[in-house]
Structure 1
Amino acid sequence: PVAEQKQKHEDVKSFQDLQQEVLDRGLCGRCGGCASFCSADEMNALDFDRTDGPHLISDDNCLKCGICYLICPQIKALDAEVRERFGWQPPIGSFRSIVSARTTEPKVAEVCTDGGVVTSLLRYALEKRIIHGALVSRKIGPFQREPFLATSPDELIDAAGTHFDEVQHLGDFGKGYSTYSPTIQEIKTLGQRRLDRVALVGTPCQIYTVRKMQVLSILPADSIVFTIGLFCMENFSFDAAAKTTLEKNLGLNIDDVAKLNIKDDVIITTTAGKVIHLPFEAVDEIARPACMACPDFANDFADVSVGGLGSPDGYTTTVIRSGLGQKLFNGAKHARLIRQLSLGGKDRAKLHRTELMAKITSFARRKKARARETFAA
């Protein structure tokens, strides 16, 4: 019976397979999902460090259930199931409409990166009690963000935007800094907080992981009832070497960086108000390795996908995908919390939507091609 049980375990993908296929290839995104939702959590089979990622403490304690393997965003074993459940269609997933929109709330506009649509949508959903909380990320330093569960509209203001303006001096740059926030780890706490209707704002890999958890009925992923997905070409990892590289490419000191934004390219705003545009190739070398293997730019499985690409300055490109996404967008617009870009006529509006679709599709294809090259290497 022991030998038979061992054989059954060997027939199931486990953390050792994840180690070989993802970690050993340098493709781990440090989301923490594998360790956070390990079935053997109380037996201390896996441990997680944000710098080094997950590692196996005891193979004897591993239940060989396969959950850590399946929910990893770099593993594509559940692609077909996720696509079927969420109605994916090429080239950028299923959607109902694509618009350029912006917040009408002055206090949101002051702190947002693009048009403030994400913050105003979530504020509306909280005010109407459609959700009880919003799992977002907030800045804790110029190159660091942390997960944050906002339960009131005003708390969302603290998390808005992607600004590098809180710390005047970076100090210890021997430590690692990242623009990526490990939000997935926070999902596990939702059951303990007794929150059953929560929104999640995340990168494509984070939204995809949640969708895989929902396909597998892993609790408390059912608490995530609304997702806003960020357009994402890549996130950046910063250490001493990356700091030197970035300063060389920018021709300025990192302490002088006030704001980072990504639209058609990488946009840096200095504390003196100077705006610098960089092609993605100029910062690819400081991108997280996991991002180079990710094929999803447009956050195909979110309820609403957002980014600055294609829209005028001060507006958010908004891809409305699900019925709930449409309901919240319409509700916030009716409440005059957001407004769409006025284009003066059906033909101009149609042309604008066409241009948005073309740009999103172009970036999506570019990221997919990069991912294929990464996996082929």
Structure 2
Amino acid sequence: MSSVSNSAVSSPSDVHRTSKETLCSSCGLCSIKEWPSKESIQSCVFKTGWLGAQEARIFGRERSLESFEEMRFGISKSRFTARLKQPIPDSQWTGIITQICLKAFQSGLVEGVVTLHHSEEDIFIAEPVLAQTAEDILAARGNKPVLASTLSSLEHAYRLGMKRVLVVGAACHVHVLRDFQRRFPYLNSMDIFVIGIPCTDNVKPKRLRWILERISSSHTTVRHYEFMQDFNVHLKHENGRLEKVPYFSLPQELSQNGIFAPSCMSCFDYVNSLADITVGYLGAPFNKKDMRQWIMIRTEKGQELYNLISDELDTFAETRSGNAKDAVKMNTERTIEQMKLGDKAPVKTGRRIPIWAGKIITAMMSRFGPKGLEFARYSIDFHLMRNYYYVKLNYPNQLHIVPKHVYKVLEEYEIAP
């Protein structure tokens, strides 16, 4: 690896601190009783590491560090943006993931879908489910921005003797699943298809309510929220009202260390690179009218899943505009300095800037800032570098989980590893 020049970020060697909280994304595999939990633990991504050998096993090679896009977005057969011609009501976007799941089930390609439902007790508590009816699949619509034990539903599929299963999960779920199926015999007879969701910065359910209280004007009526490409947090309320809060006007408490789950701060696969197909919004241009999503077909199985609904989609080529590099570097360096203070960081309250001022900045960023693939680069690069420093500072003995391309990204920004 080439050396990098010094930057505004000083060496972290004098601020190492070991966190007492074990890295765990609560993926759910360890809770399964059909095999020893000690075997499930062996496949934990925080033991095996992100990407690397697993990527090579799936694709026959690791991602190219010489490819600007592949290094960030992972290996794929094709990438594009799309929307359903007939959106599914109450979906987060137009319902592409839901429609794939429905068609896979109704066509007999799979016997069940491992996914999540909203809890009746609290919409922001996710409950693992093995969906075995169209109604169960439709009930899984919408984002669940919290840690979730999705893989625990594999126990039900295993007990039923299912041979073909579709799993919808985050990157931590997919890494564990891929390794476990390769390492142990229990799921060898199960043909598993995987839809990956790009995922970052989840929180524990109880912490989420605390966050919503500080963001929203009516936190009790929020039904889902998303950090969007127009530099606003979009909060949808139970009456259909859409509330937008500029990133730049978020409460300063949300910059405190410890807001997000340690497992999410130690994630290095935002775009779910080991899935058969990844469906999200990150690289799609923002347009509230057509609600496009970003699709990355990664494997033959992913192509098979996509083909189920291809004639129901409007598809578009990827686009890119703007330059995110300076903004990423500035934001990363500021965040790293905050992390290095740890518990000594001053606790600030109130909004960073008033909402009216935040809206002006947001309007300018939406017009002149990074869009499409450049927005994806903005978010991916920031999270890779921030998370590297989080592990470096809090879990220095677990730097083996960091994949090679993270060091290349640090080098590009002249931020010392």
Match of 2:28 among 15, 20, 32: 32
Match of 1:360 among 353, 356, 376: 376
TM-score (norm 1): 0.72
Q: Which runs of no fewer than 5 residues in structure 1 stay unpaired?
A: 1-21, 42-65, 164-177, 342-348
Distance 1:213 1:151 in 2: 24
Distance 1:80 1:290 in 2: 18
1:1-377 → structure 2 map (5 Å cutoff): 24-36=20-32, 39-40=35-36, 67-76=39-48, 79-87=51-59, 88-89=62-63, 90-106=71-87, 108=88, 110-140=89-119, 141-162=122-143, 179-220=146-187, 223-239=190-206, 243-250=209-216, 252-264=217-229, 266-271=233-238, 273-279=241-247, 283=254, 285-311=258-284, 312-313=287-288, 314-334=291-311, 336=312, 338-341=313-316, 349=317, 351=319, 356-377=372-393
Give the superposition deviation at 1:193: 1.0
Q: Which runs of no fewer than 5 residues in structure 2 stay unpaired?
A: 1-17, 64-70, 323-370, 394-417
Distance 1:70 1:356 in 2: 38
Give the superposition deviation at 1:279: 3.2
Q: Runs ≥4 in structure 1, deviation > 6 angstroms?
A: none
Q: Which residue of 2 aligns with 1:62?
A: none
Give the superposition deviation at 1:293: 1.0
SS of the counterpart of 1:147?
strand
1:275–1:340 distance in 2 versus 1, CA, 3 Å: same
TM-score (norm 2): 0.65
Worse-superposed segment, 141-150 or 68-77: 68-77
- Could you tell me which amino acid in structure 2 is paired with residue 372 of structure 1? Y
Distance 2:281 2:321 in 1: 14
Worse-superposed segment, 359-368 or 298-307: 359-368
C-alpha contact (below 8 Å) 2:283/2:318 kept by paired residues: no
C-alpha contact (below 8 Å) 1:295/1:369 kept by paired residues: no
Distance 1:83 1:39 in 2: 26
Report the number of matched residues. 306
- Could you tell me which amino acid in structure 1 is paired with residue 278 of structure 2? S
Distance 2:111 2:210 in 1: 43
Distance 1:35 1:27 in 2: 16
SS of the counterpart of 1:189?
helix
Cα deviation, 1:99-145, whole Å, max 9, x if unaligned, reads 22122345x2x121012110111111112211111111111122111
Distance 1:183 1:231 in 2: 15
C-alpha contact (below 8 Å) 2:79/2:318 kept by paired residues: no
SS of the counterpart of 2:309?
helix
Distance 2:116 2:294 in 1: 20
C-alpha contact (below 8 Å) 1:293/1:370 kept by paired residues: no
Q: Which residue of 2 aligns with 1:170?
A: none
Q: CA RMSD in A?
A: 3.0
SS of the counterpart of 2:234?
strand
C-alpha contact (below 8 Å) 2:114/2:151 kept by paired residues: no
Give the superposition deviation at 1:255: 0.8
Give the superposition deviation at 1:292: 0.8
